[in-house]
Amino acid sequence: MEGRATASTPAALPYYVAFSQLLGLTLVAMTGAWLGLYRGGIAWESHLQFNVHPLCMAIGLIFLQGDALLVYRVFRNEAKRTTKVLHGLLHVFALIIALVGLVAVFDYHRKKGYADLYSLHSWCGILVFVLYFVQWLVGFSFFLFPGVSFSLRSRYRASHIFFGATIFLLSVGTALLGLKEALLFKLGAKYSLFEPEGVLGNVLGLLLACFGGVVLYILTRPDWKRPPQAEEQALSMDFKTLTEGDSPGSQ
Amino acid sequence: MEGRATASTPAALPYYVAFSQLLGLTLVAMTGAWLGLYRGGIAWESHLQFNVHPLCMAIGLIFLQGDALLVYRVFRNEAKRTTKVLHGLLHVFALIIALVGLVAVFDYHRKKGYADLYSLHSWCGILVFVLYFVQWLVGFSFFLFPGVSFSLRSRYRASHIFFGATIFLLSVGTALLGLKEALLFKLGAKYSLFEPEGVLGNVLGLLLACFGGVVLYILTRPDWKRPPQAEEQALSMDFKTLTEGDSPGSQ
């Protein structure tokens, strides 16, 4: 009975996950459409290099980062190690794609002779990237590197989850700032005339905020958290008996 | 023993609350300083009417809204009804101040003949204001209006907390967008020359993000949640026995 109970998936969870994926894919597609329709498309050489930046960030630091956070909710009945490796790998992909996006904008600024790191978007962006990299390194050291004690992992887990969610939300905020900057720099006073590019940009901004909200909802619903598997539960109970007061629980 | 245990306050909580207040007051003061130093100050008549908007939003929808969320952590040992009323009242103050800020910007636009509601900031802002008002109305109906059953309140509580935190975070994001808009409209290309106003604006933006992060941290730490008082606990246990499976617990 116990085994069957932990293997079940909450009825509404798949619908929320499907909705998050729909939002995520739409926002990536809309970023591509925006760059294609109004910004001349994407290329590494020429002035189109700048456009690599928003697309990479939408794919890496928004969609893939969000999905990496959802891994423990979606693959709730797989072995913990498999889920953990997938969580770490998705974050690695996100980090690499974000790095390409970062190189693109710095290289574009260098070629054009533009100043770097003067805007609020760039300050938040660098902060997000550094925090994301540090969070990955610390997460890897604690959860995937062998030899770290169960007790130490349990104590760090809550901080890892909080900072993971916060970095994701800061990524969404930074993307909104970048989008706004791109719209204002190009449209200027025409923004107030409800130009099609401005309206598309606003809808993209709302999609970004909605994706952030839905991921946060799935992540924070207590009854949707991954239940500990039978063998983890036994280990956790043994540990609880030994330490009393510590609650390693599920992730 | 039980009574004394629930009346205790976690050791680190007051420091985090103090830090959040320091951040909140600094960001309000810095908004005032920015408007005074670089935007000519504040007045209801003349072109200075616009400046009422950012100041009211920083006080109402950022500082007061954040503090309203922290009420259950700070006044953890007071009677629940007192805490509830304070939570509702702080939100009313925030709502009224935000309304003044909203009227200021619409009135300013009208006098100047500017278009309304074209930017991403304004779309997010209207969304935040409507959601905030609806959340307050629904919250009041469920938790302060007499006659709503304990069971219904318990079932709605988790959604109220999630949407409360989400609206607060969306308010912070909207403030960042507004700040960025104000900087770009005035500074334009000079923004990249590290003008003092641009740097001050960026620091203000980081302060806004930090305030959001610290409030979220205090709010989500499980061991900092308000413990149910002795009489609430008795009621909750009776209710648990009656319904089994529902967990009204603490807020």
Q: Would you list the DSSP string of A27-68? A: HHHHHHHHHHHHS----SSSGGGGGHHHHHHIIIIIIIHHHH
Percentage above 90 pLDDT, chain B: 84
Domain for residue B32, yes or no?
yes
B-chain residues near A30 (CB < 8 A):
none
Q: Which residues contact B182 (CB under 8 A, 6 or more apart)?
A: B54, B201
Nearest to A192 among B114, B202, B209 (CB): B114
Put simply, the answer to whether B123 touches A202 (Cβ < 8 Å) is yes
What is the average pLDDT across B98-102?
98
B-chain residues near A112 (CB < 8 A):
none
Q: What is the DSSP string of A152-197?
A: HHHHHHHHHHHHHHHHHHHHHHHHHHHHHHHHHHHHGGGGGGT-HH
- Under DSSP, the state recorded for B12 is T
Domain for residue A132, yes or no?
yes
Put simply, the answer to whether A202 touches B119 (Cβ < 8 Å) is yes
Domain for residue A250, yes or no?
no
State the Cα–Cα distance between residues B141 and B153, nearest whole angstrom.
10
Domain for residue A6, yes or no?
no
ipTM of the complex: 0.91
Domain for residue B214, yes or no?
yes
Residues of B with CB under 8 A from a CB of A: 114-115, 118-121, 123-124, 127, 158, 162, 166, 169-170, 172-173, 176-177, 179-181, 183-185, 191-194, 198, 201-202, 205-206, 209, 213, 216-217, 220-222
pLDDT bucket at B235, cuts 50 / 70 / 90: low
Q: What is the pLDDT of residue A145?
A: 87
Nearest to A177 among B119, B177, B217 (CB): B177
Look up the domain containing B126 and give its range. 26-243
Domain for residue B4, yes or no?
no
Count of domains for chain A: 1
- Under DSSP, the state recorded for B191 is G
Put simply, the answer to whether B120 touches A202 (Cβ < 8 Å) is yes
Q: What is the pLDDT of residue B229?
A: 76
Q: Which residues contact A203 (CB under 8 A, 6 or more apart)?
A: A30
State the Cα–Cα distance between residues B198 and B218, nearest whole angstrom.
30
State the Cα–Cα distance between residues A249 and B7, nearest whole angstrom.
26
State the Cα–Cα distance between residues A136 and A121, nearest whole angstrom.
22
Q: What is the pLDDT of residues B124-152, one digit of tens each?
A: 999 999 999 999 999 999 999 888 999 99
CB distance A51 to A89 below 8 Å:
no
Nearest to B205 among A120, A158, A194 (CB): A120
- How high is the mean pLDDT in each 10-residue block of chain A (251 residues)? 58 97 98 98 96 98 98 94 96 98 98 97 98 98 91 94 98 98 95 97 98 98 88 60 46 42
Q: CB count, 10 Å around CB of A80?
A: 17
Domain for residue A167, yes or no?
yes
CB distance B34 to B57 below 8 Å:
no
Put simply, the answer to whether A173 touches B172 (Cβ < 8 Å) is yes
Query: Which chain A residue's Cα is nearest to B198?
Result: A119
Six-digit token string for B197: 């106003």
CB distance B6 to B77 below 8 Å:
yes
Nearest to A170 among B114, B181, B209 (CB): B209
> In A103-116, which positions are buried (b, 16+ CB within 10 angstroms) versus exposed (e)?
ebbeebbeeeeeee
Q: Which residues contact A85 (CB under 8 A, 6 or more apart)?
A: A144
Domain for residue A66, yes or no?
yes
- CATH number of the domain enclosing B170: 1.20.120.1770
What is the average pLDDT across B153-180?
97
Query: Which chain B residue's Cα is nearest to A216?
Result: B166
pLDDT bucket at B241, cuts 50 / 70 / 90: low
